[in-house]
């Protein structure tokens, strides 16, 4: 049972964090910001697209720079 739980935990870590933990943290921050702003009168539809436009190029830039 412990081995199965460990395997599931490793799968979740690899699936969620993947190769770049910074993107995962950015997505969590963008979701938190979306939630926080949803409690106000500010429209929040733009938060996740902006996060996508920011985090994808940064992630690709880091990969390209490593090579």
Per-residue pLDDT of 12-21, as tens digits, reads 888 877 778 8
* pLDDT given for residue 13 in this prediction: 83
Burial class of residue 50, CB neighbours in 10 A (0-12, 13-18, 19+): exposed
Domain boundaries, given as residue ranges, for the chain: 21-67
What global pTM score does this model have?
0.74
* Per-residue model confidence as pLDDT tens digits over 16-64: 777 788 888 898 999 999 999 999 998 999 999 999 999 989 888 888 8
Question: Percent of the chain scored above 90 by pLDDT?
Answer: 43
Query: Within 13 Å, how many C-alpha atoms sit on residue 57's CB side?
Result: 5
Q: Three-class SS of residue 18? A: coil
């Amino acid at each position: 049972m412990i081995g199965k739980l460990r395997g599931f935990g490793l799968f979740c870590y690899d699936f969620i964090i993947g190769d770049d933990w910074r993107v995962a943290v950015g997505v969590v921050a963008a979701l938190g910001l979306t939630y926080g702003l949803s409690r106000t009168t500010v429209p929040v539809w733009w938060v996740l697209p902006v996060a996508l436009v920011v985090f994808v190029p940064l992630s690709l830039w880091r990969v390209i720079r490593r090579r």
